Structure 1
Amino acid sequence: MESERIILGQIVRSKAGRDKDKYFVVMGLDGKEYALICDGELRKVEKPKRKKIKHLDVHNHVAHDVKAKIESNMRISNGDIKNSLKSLGLID
């Protein structure tokens, strides 16, 4: 299954749509076909984008600080997401 190869906090790149080639962090999974993603800027933590997993390019990188906060039900800020993507050199 597609959803078995993706985990919370994983870095993904959009392969299709208006957000093509932009990087996001997986905030949740919605069924077996969809992931909830955000970048902290265009797609905020408060309203993550629901996107089909087949339209995402899954990277080996995981935002461990974000993953830990998701798993412990701590509040995640948009700044946390942006800092994770910045530290990997994926956004300016």
Structure 2
Amino acid sequence: MNEPDSSPQIGQLVKILQGRDTDQFAIVLKVLDERFVFIADGDKRKFDRPKKKNINHLEFFDYVSPEVQNSISETGRVTNGKLRFAVSKFVNEQITDFEKGEQLDG
């Protein structure tokens, strides 16, 4: 994500690398400028109180939640349930892929 031409996208999944929420997953709700984004996970950090984060403190994944992206582009907001669903879906897929990889090695 350090390349200047790749910028964060609305609905993109991130892992928080620094701060009190370290190692938590969240979704980009809004891109403020080239350095900051608003993120939320729908659980501890709700849509109506997003966290402003420096993009250098986030690990960006190639996964963009279509449900969240569509909801924000159509209505300007997204439900906390949809955020929770998108985060848990991504985490479950990642963990499942990791476990499959482990089983192949073992």
TM more than 0.5 = yes
Give the structure 1 partner of residue 46 of structure 2. 44
Which structure shows the bigger proportion of residues in strand conformation?
1
| Counterpart contact for 1:36–1:48, Cα < 8 Å | yes
Any gaps of 5 or more consecutive residues in structure 1? none
Give the structure 1 partner of residue 70 of structure 2. 68
Q: How far apart, CA to CA, are the structure 1 residues paired with 2:27 and 2:61?
A: 10
Q: Which has the larger radius of gyration?
A: 2
TM-score (norm 1): 0.89
Identity of aligned residues (%): 28
TM-score (norm 2): 0.78
Which structure shows the bigger proportion of residues in helix conformation?
2
Structure 1 runs of 4+ aligned residues shifted over 4 Å read: none
Any gaps of 5 or more consecutive residues in structure 2? 95-106
Q: Cα RMSD (Å) of the superposition?
A: 1.7
| Counterpart contact for 1:3–1:53, Cα < 8 Å | no
- Secondary structure at 2:75's aligned position in 1? coil
| Counterpart contact for 1:2–1:32, Cα < 8 Å | no
Aligned residues: 90
Larger RCO: 1 or 2 (CA < 8 Å, sep 6+): 1
